[in-house]
Amino acid sequence: MRRSLRYGWGLAAILAAGPLAAQTPPVLERTLSNGMKLVMVERHDQPTIALGWMARVGSANERPGITGLAHLFEHMMFKGTRTLGTRDAKRDAELNRLQDGVQAKIREEMAVLRERQRRGEIPDMMDPRARTPRLEALLKEFDALVKEQRALVVKDEMDQIYTQAGATGINASTSEDRTFYICSLPSNKLELWMWIESDRLANPVFREFYSERDVILEERRQTLESRPTGLVDEAFNALTWKAVPYTWEVIGWPSDIAQVTREQADEFFATYYAPNNLTAVLVGDFDPDRAAAMAERYLGRVPANPRGVPPIVTLEPPQVAEQRMNADAETTPTVTLDFKTVSSVHKDAPALMALAGILGGAQAFPGRFGQGGAPRGRLHKALVLEAKAATSATAHFSGMRYGGTFGLRAVPGPGRTPEELEPMVLAELEKIARDGVTDDELQRYKNAAEVGFHTRMESNTGIRETLSQYLSAGDVADFRAALDRIRAVTKEDVKAAASKYFPKASRNVLVVHRKGAPAMPRPGSMPPSMPKGEVK
Amino acid sequence: MKIRVLIPALLPALLGAQAIPPRPEALAFAPVQFRTPSAREHQARLKNGIPVFLAPNGKDGAPLVRITVNWKGGGYLEPAGKEGLATLFGSQLVLGGTASLDPAALQDRLEALAATLTSSCAPTAGSISLTVQEKDLQAGLDLLVQCLTAPAFAQDRLELARRQARQGLSRRNDMVGSIAGYLQPALLSGPDHFSAKQPTAASLDAVTREDLLAFHRRLLHPANLVVAASGAFDRKAMLERLDRALGALKPAPGAQASPVPPAPAFQRKPGLYLAAKDAPQAMLTWTLPGLRRTDPDWHKAYVMNQLLGGPGFTSRLMKKIRSDEGLTYGVYSNMGPGPHYRGDITGSMQTKNRSVAYALRLALAEMARLKEAPPSAAELQVIKDGLLESFPAQWGSKQAIAGRFAEEALVGWNGDWWQDFREKVQAVTPADVQAMARKYLELDKLVILAVGRKAEMEAGDPDHPGALKDAAGLPVTELPLRDPLTLKALDK
C-alpha cells in the first residue's frame, strides 16, 4: 500500500466517540502510512500502559496439514530477531539453514514411518521405538546443530528485556480469528515497546523452531488431552462445524504440529503479519499524538503486503440433520446442545446474547467469556431449583468472526441422567419461542450486562481485552456501539431469535456419561433418536 | 473498512531525523515517579474498632463501588467429622437468603439492582463481596449487611449446595492435578493438620443448618472483621455509611475472636512419592520448607526463588526445561509467604509421563547449580529490575490497593511492610542469592510427588536414559489413590 497524501496532519487527531455511546471510554483511531491501525484509550490513573497488537489471523486461516500453525507462530514470535536472541546473527542464520536441511531429510524418514503406520506395520510413528536407523542418525545430527546454536542463543532475550523494564503480563494468545501479543509497561517505556514490537515484525527470526513444536505438544497434552472431556470436546466441535474452518482446535491436530516446516511458517508470516492486517491497542498513561508519531516512526517502517490477505470465502451450509455424540469420560455426566448461529457482529447477535442471559445468566459480550455472580436465569430456576433435576444449567452465546454457536448445558443431579435433562432444557427454549420474555427480565438482563461492561472498564488491561474482543470480529465502531446495542434489544427480537435459530435439524447434542459408571435406569423421556444400548 | 485518518508521508520523513537506535539498550527513559501506597493513609476504623481500607477512584474510574468484608476463621475451626462445613457456610451466607428475604427474594433484589453479591470461605479466612452501581450503593450495602449479620441458611439451598459439593468430590480422581491436590497436603503437614482435612460424602451429609448458624455466631465478632472499599465514592461519606452499617455491630452471643490457625506438628518424610493415574501427562511437584514473610531472609530468598523459578520466561527453570528442552508448557517455583506459620517453596510442572524422570533431574540440577555458584551480576540485575520496575503495576487498581491492605491486616501483617520493599530487593547481592540457595534449597528435605502412568514414569525417556527412582536419590513410596467420596485408600 502506498502512502497517501490526501489528508493533512490536522485531521489526525479526530476523537471519534459515538454520540450515543457516552459511557464507553473514548477511543482514538489512527492509521499508519503502511496501513497498520492504532487504537488508543487515554487513562492517567496510574503510570502504566496496557499494550498489544493484533494480527487478524487465527486457526480459521489454516488448512489440513498446517493446523496449529497460527498458534505455533504465536510462540515463534518470542524467539527473537536478527538483533535480539543471538550473539552471532550470521552463524545463527547458517545454523537455521543447516537445521532446515536436516529436517527435510527427517521428513523423508517420517514419510517412511507414516507409510508403515498406514500399512499397519507400526502402531505409532511418533513412538521413539519406531524410528529407523537413518532417522536416529539424523536426529543426532540435528541435536548437534541445536547444541551449537544454543551456545549462540541469548535465551528469551526479548522477554528478558521486557522483564527488566518492568513489564507485566507478557503474553500472547491465539483464537480462531486473531492472534494478540500483549504486555503492560511503566508509562515511560512506550518507546521500548515500539522498538521491540517493530523489530519482531520487521526482522523476525524463527529460531528454536523445531524444539518449540515439542513445547506445543506438551501444551496440547496439558490444556486439552489431560482435561477429562478435552478430546471429546475437540471431536464435538469437529462434528458441529462442517465447512467454515472452525472444525479443528486452535492448537491443531498433533500430527500437523509435529511436521510443520519453517518454509510454511515463513509463507504464513509474509501473508498474515503484514501491517495492513495488524491493529495495535494502547490503553493507559500516554499522549496519543506523541504515541502516534512514535508508532509511525517505528511500526511504520514495516513494509505492507500489497497482495492483502486472502479472504475466507467458505460459508457454513445449513445443517441438514440433528447430530449426536455419546461419550464416556472421567467426569460428571452432562448434556450439551450446540446450535450454530451468527458472528458476534451480526445484527441478531445482541438478541442471542439477551436470550443467553435470560435463559442461563450468561454475560452479554462477544467472545467466550465465563459467567459471573450467583447462578440465575430461567434454566437454573426450572431445572435446578424447581425440578431439582440438575445441579447446574446454563446457556451461552459464543460469537466469532465467521459464525457462532449457542450452547445449552446441564449437569444432572444425583440419580438423574443427562437424557432426562435434554427435553427440559429444550422446553425452556421453546417457551420463549412461543411466549417471549417479560419486560422485567429483559430489563434486568440489560442492567446486568451494562454493569458487567463497566467492570471491564475499570483497568487498562480490562479495556484492552474488551476492545480486542470487538476488534477480533469487527472494528472500533462495534465497541463504541456495544452498550447501545444491548439497550436496543426488544422482547420481539428475543422471541424472534428463539424461533429462528433452533430448529431440530440444527441441533448438535453431546451426552457425556461417567466412564465405567454402572448403568442407570433408563428414563422414559429419552429422545427417540437415541440408539438403544448406547446409554450406559 | 473506512480509514478515518492517514498519517501523511511527510511526517515520517521529518521524524526520520531521529534514527531508530540499533539496540533497545540505547533508548533513554524519563524516570517514573511512584510513591508506594501506604496502608496508614488508606486505613480508618469504625466505631467498634473494625478496620476499614478505603481507595476511592481517581478521575478515570467506572461508576461502580466494591465493598468486601473479610473475616478471620475458616476450615481450621470445623469440628471433626464435619469437613466441608466452612465451604458450605461460605457459599450459603449469600445463597441461603436472610431472616427477612428468602433466597429467591434476595436474588430478585440483587438482579433488580444489577448488583453482584458473593461469599466464600477458605481454610483460614473468608469474605463477602459486593459490586454495585454508585447510585445503588446504599441498597446494595443493606443487602450485604443483612447477609453478614442475619443469614437464614435456607434448608433447600443447603441441600442443593451439598449435591453440588458431592459432585465436586466425585471428580477428585479425574485429573492428575486434582489427585496431587488431595494427596500433597498430608505429605506436607500430616494427615491430622487442618490443611490436610478434606470433606467426604459422609462429612458433607453431617453438616446441618444448625451447624451453619453456630459457625456464623462464632465468627460474627468485630475483632474478626476487616473491610475494604474501592470505587466511585467520597472517602468521608463512605466511612459514615459504613459506620452506620457496621459500626454498631457487637459480638453475637457465643462469638469469639478467631484464634491463629495452628502450625502443623509433623515431621515430614522427604522422599519421592508416586501415584498411578492413566493420563497423557503427569503432574510433578516438589516442596521444600520455606520461610515467613516476616523473616529477615525473606527479600533475599524471594529474589533467589524468582531467579530459579519466577513467572515468565526469565527464570532458570523455564529457560532450561521449557525453552531448551521443550518438556513442558510451564514450570514454576513459588514461595509461599506463610501468613500464619512457615511457608513452603513449591515447584510444579506437567510433562508427558516418560519425561518425568529427566525433567526432575533437570530441575534438581538447576537448584544444585544455584547453590554451587552465585549468579552473575547481570543475571541478578534482570531479576531485580523486573521486580522494581513492575512494582507500580502491583498496585494497578483501587480494588487491588484496598484489597491487599485489608487481607494483610486480617493476618496481622505490618501495614508498612511494602514501604522499603524496593530498597531491600535492590540490596540483594549475587552472594546473598547463593547463600539463600544453600540455606533453603536443601535437596535432602524434598518431598516430591509425581502422579501419572506409573510404568512410563518409572522407566524414563529412552532419549535421556535414567529411571525415576534414581532421579532424586530419595526413598520411593507408592501412594494409593483414594475413593473420591470416602477418601478410603483404593487398591493399587
What is the spatial distance between Cα A40 and Cα A51, in angstroms, rounded to a whole number?
10
Residue A90 has pLDDT above 70, yes or no: yes
| Nearest Cβ partner for B29 among A170, A188, A292 | A188
Task: Note whether B388 contacts A223, CB cutoff 8 Å.
Answer: no
Q: Report pLDDT for A520.
A: 57
Any B CB within 8 A of A277 CB: no
A410 bridge partner residues: A335, A393
Least confident among A61-75, A223-237, B15-29, B468-482: B15-29
Strands of A48-55's sheet in order across: A28-31, A37-42, A278-284, A48-55, A179-186, A168-174
Q: Which of A193, A54, A297, A302 is nearest to B7 (CA)?
A: A297
Whether the Cβ atoms of residue A491 and residue A437 lie closer than 8 Å to each other: yes
* Residue in B113, B326, B391 nearest the CB of A214: B326
DSSP states along B279-305: -SEEEEEEEEE---TTSTTHHHHHHHH
A221 to B112: CB separation less than 8 angstroms, yes or no: no
Nearest C-alpha neighbor of B202 from the set B243, B169, B228: B169
- A411's grid cell: 449437569
User: CB neighbours (10 Å) of residue A509?
Assistant: 23
- Judged against a pLDDT cut of 90, whether residue A24 lies above it is answered with no
Nearest CA in chain A to B326: A215
C-alpha cell at B87: 465451604
Which helix (DSSP H) or strand (DSSP E) does residue A96 occupy?
helix A89-118
Compute the average pLDDT of residues A68-76: 91
What pLDDT digit, counting tens, does each position of A386-404 carry? 999 999 999 999 999 999 9
Radius of gyration of chain A (CA): 26
DSSP secondary structure letter of residue A333: -
CA angle A2, A8, A12 (to 5 degrees): 95
How far does the CA of residue B266 sit from the closest CA of chain A (Å)? 33
SS3 A124: coil
Reply yes or no on whether the pLDDT at A88 is more than 70. Answer: yes
Query: Which of chain A's residues have a Cβ under 8 Å away from the Cβ of B328?
Result: 215, 218, 222
Are A454 and A448 in contact by the 8 Å Cβ rule? The answer is: no
Nearest to A9 among B8, B114, B399 (CB): B8
Give the mutation candidate from B389, B401, B422, B481 for the A interface (greatest A CB count, under 10 A): B389
pLDDT tens digits for range A476-525: 999 999 999 999 999 999 999 999 999 999 999 999 999 988 765 544 44
Quick one: B265 exposed, middle or buried, by C-beta within 10 A (0-12, 13-18, 19+)?
exposed
Segment among A320-324, A338-342, A456-460 with least mean pLDDT:
A456-460
Alpha-carbon distance B466 to B361, whole Å? Answer: 9
Within 8 A of B16 by CB-CB distance, chain A residues are 297
Contact flag A186-B389 (C-beta cutoff 8 Å): yes
Q: Give the Cα separation of A180 and A465 in Å (integer).
A: 10
Quick check: A31 and B6 CB within 8 A? yes
Q: Which residue has the cell 454498631?
A: B248
The confidence score (pLDDT) of residue B313 equals 85
- Cα-trace Rg, chain B: 26
Task: State how beta strands B281-289 and B447-452 pair.
Answer: antiparallel
- Residue A529's pLDDT is 39
Residue B379: closest CA among B333, B429, B330, B345: B429
Residue A339 clears pLDDT 80, i.e. is over it: yes
* pLDDT of amino acid A416: 95
- Best mutation target, B1, B2, B4, to test chain A (most A CBs within 10 A): B4
CA neighbours within 13 Å on the CB side: how many for B448?
29
**Chain A residues with CB inside 8 Å of B27's CB?**
191-192, 195
DSSP code at position B35 = P
- What confidence score (pLDDT) does residue B489 get? 96
By the CB < 8 Å criterion, does A413 face chain B?
yes
Residue A1 has pLDDT above 70, yes or no: no
C-alpha cell at A535: 446409554
Top pLDDT among A260 and A58 is at A58
**Per the structure block, which three cell numbers stand in for B24?**
533497545
Determine contact: A297 vs chain B, CB below 8 A: yes
Chain B CB within 8 Å of residue A173 CB:
no
The answer to whether A451 contacts B323, with C-beta atoms less than 8 Å apart, is no
Closest CA to A281 of A475, A452, A454: A475
ipTM of this predicted structure: 0.88
- What's the mean per-residue pLDDT of chain A? 88
Q: Which residue from A43, A48, A159 is facing B393, i.e. has the nearest CB?
A: A48
Contact B382 A164 (CB under 8 A): yes
How far apart CA B460 and CA A66 sit, in angstroms, is 31
Question: CA-CA distance, B80 to A106, in Å (whole number)?
Answer: 61
Residue spans of chain B under pLDDT 50: 1-17
Q: What is the pLDDT of residue A536?
A: 31
Shortest alpha-carbon distance between residue A161 and chain B (Å): 8
pLDDT of res. B127: 97
Q: Residue B95 has what pLDDT?
A: 95
What band does A12 get if pLDDT is binned at 50, 70 and 90? very low
Q: Which residues of A touch B112 (CB under 8 A)?
A: 444
Q: State the cell numbers at B171.
A: 471428580
SS3 B75: helix
Of residues B174, B388, B393, nearest to A168 (C-beta): B393
Share of chain A above pLDDT 70, in %: 90
At A374, the pLDDT band (50, 70, 90 cuts) reads low
B281 and A222 within 8 Å at the Cβ level: the answer is yes
pLDDT for residue A222: 87
Q: Which residue has the higher pLDDT, B373 or A364?
A: B373
- Separation between Cα atoms, residue B172 and residue A514, nearest integer Å: 13
pLDDT for res B16: 45
Q: What are phi and psi of A482, to 5 degrees?
A: -55, -50
- A 24-43 residues inside an 8 A Cβ radius of B: 29-33, 43
* C-alpha to C-alpha distance for A356 and B119, rounded to whole angstroms: 25
Given an 8 Å threshold on Cβ–Cβ distance, is B6 in contact with A300? Answer: no
Closest CA to A228 of A327, A139, A160, A349: A327
At residue A18 the predicted structure's pLDDT band, cuts being 50, 70 and 90, is very low
Q: Of B279, B462, B120, B212, which Cα lies nearest the Cα of A222? A: B279
Q: Is A523 exposed, middle or buried (0-12, 13-18, 19+ CB in 10 A)?
A: middle
pLDDT at residue A276 in the model: 94
